[in-house]
Chain A
Amino acid sequence: MKKLVILAAAAVFALAGQAVAQEKVRIATEGAYAPWNYKDSAGNLVGFELDLAKDLCKRMSAECTVVEQAWDGIIPALQAGKYDAIMAGMSITAKRKKVISFSRAYAATPAKFVVLKSSPNASFKTMESDIDLAEVSDAEKASVSELVAKFKGKKIGVQVATTHENFLNEYLGKDVTILTYKTQEQLDLDLQAGRVDAALASMSYWAPLLKGDKGKDMVAVGPNLTGGPFGAGVGVGIRQADGKLVDMFSKAINESIADGTVKKLAIMHFGFDASVKK
């Protein structure tokens, strides 16, 4: 009898184990933020995060589906339960943390301004080339003032609902006109058309663009901006109630960083190692 009970229990555990193995995770991405996530000419979702998602799902032994969701509704739709996780180049910030949870960071890239090569600011540099807004030194503070003075009265474009928009509102809001765009691609078009004087986005986005044909008239200027409003790197956004899923993703990311997979994928897509070690 005892044996039978043990056998039955074992069977139940085995079944439960199988149920975990088949956990279904729906991941949302934007599909318009190359090289993080974008669409190839056939309309398939591709990019760093799509490849990373495949790797993480294998490590979590989860069955993943990736859905496309416009950026400006990506957090509300997560909370409405349309999907379970966001992998869309979303930086971990204090403000977002009030609303959703994040896994540990899997990548981090600095923000940078881009102008047209024909612009008078095309060779603009600050004294400090790297500014960490989390803890600002006096030299860095002077460089921020330099930045503000340079762009005073100009039109600066940025994608809506991004950490970059928060930075502009906080640091340059009084001195420049901020134009917000639904997608980064629309902003690029207006930068090329000269409707904005400068555009702010992540270097991970600019690097491949500037190398390509689309960016042949553009140049990155000013300092590399990190920390503060830009947050602590990019992580997986998850509903606050799904603590288990947060742990699953963080564990998978730890493994993936430890064995160099994230680094490999980052070099493949960004051209530099954007993985976060700690």
Chain B
Amino acid sequence: MDFELMIESWPKLFAAIPVTLSLAASSISIGFIVAIGVSLLRLSKNRLLSNVAYFFVYLFRSTPLLVQIFLIYYGSGQFKDFFESIGLWVFFREAWFCAILSLTLNTGAYTSEIIRGGIQSVPFGQIEAAKAVGMSKGLLFRRITFPIAIRQALPAYGNEIILMVKSTSLASTITILDITGIAQKIISATWSPVEIFIIAGAIYLTINFLITRIVQWLEIWLSPQLFRDRKSWWKSLRENGQQAAEVQQEFR
């Protein structure tokens, strides 16, 4: 183990953190908006819209992200004339755009299913109650369905965020110098993959540690009732149960 090399390479890898973070942040935030749209289409009563959304989800969930990145980057290069004619080549020319586009579409597909699950788990009684007080469709979604759905979906979405941070490493295959890209560049000059990947791995580990903490904090903030002191919760449940049993006895 070459510790000197590790100390020497550490700042170079550290300097690439903003690249990885901005790839992750932009694709996760744009992807989230895409996902809300897709999940609503998916739940639409219109069969055509629902099928189109399902096809999108199926396409991006069932092919490897690496293949998607390659197809979008090198594929668009093959059809340069076409993209030039519709004026989109200025975007597709940039590796950054292609990386963010494929990451966004990929996370959009996964996240839409997470949100769909959340929306469908909203108890019907809550929706009924909202309708009973005369909420409009839009208000009902904004105030009742969406907040409850997000609470339900948060643990699964936390998973998706972590997966996305790791997935950004695939952008290194199309010339982007993120943490993995820099790591590979150093390895190609020093032929010491173990030392360099240990540091790169440690950086990803730290980023994802912080993300899991933030997601956990969000979960507690959004659903505090789930995180009350477990012991007293069980106790009150037992007592209530006993009471219920006694009540039942009386009625017999």
Does B191 touch A at the CB level, under 8 Å? yes
> Which stretch in A60-68, A143-151, A182-190 binds the other chain?
A182-190
- DSSP class of B's interface residues: helix, strand, loop or mixed? helix
Q: Is the CB of B191 within 8 A of A180?
A: no
Q: Is the CB of B191 within 8 A of A189?
A: no
B188 touches which one: A99, A165, A186, A195 (CB < 8 A)?
Answer: A165
Does B184 touch A at the CB level, under 8 Å? yes
Q: Is the CB of B175 within 8 A of A179?
A: yes
Q: Which residues of A contact B192 (CB under 8 A)?
A: 76
Of residues 144 through 179 on chain A, the ones whose CB sits less than 8 Å from some CB of chain B are 157, 160-161, 165-166, 179
How many A residues have CB within 8 A of the partner chain?
Answer: 23
Does A5 touch B at the CB level, under 8 Å? no
Q: Is the CB of A186 within 8 A of B185?
A: no
Known: A76-B193, A179-B175, A180-B175. A195 touches B77 (CB 8 A): yes
Q: Is the CB of B80 within 8 A of A99?
A: no
List A residues at the B interface (Cβ < 8 Å). Answer: 72-73, 75-76, 79, 95, 99, 157, 160-161, 165-166, 179-182, 186, 189-190, 192-195
- Please name 26 pairs of A and B residues whose Cβ atoms are closer than 8 Å in the assembled complex, sorted by A: A72-B187, A72-B188, A76-B187, A76-B192, A76-B193, A79-B191, A95-B189, A157-B175, A160-B184, A160-B185, A160-B188, A179-B175, A180-B185, A180-B188, A181-B175, A182-B173, A186-B74, A189-B74, A190-B74, A190-B175, A192-B80, A193-B76, A193-B77, A194-B80, A195-B77, A195-B95
Other than the given A79-B191, A160-B184, A190-B77, 5 more pairs (CB < 8 A) read A72-B184, A72-B187, A161-B189, A179-B175, A181-B175
Going nearest first, the 9 A-B pairs with the smallest beta carbon separation are: A193-B77, A161-B188, A179-B175, A75-B191, A160-B188, A189-B74, A76-B193, A193-B80, A99-B191
List B residues at the A interface (Cβ < 8 Å). Answer: 74, 76-78, 80, 93, 95, 173, 175, 184-185, 187-189, 191-193
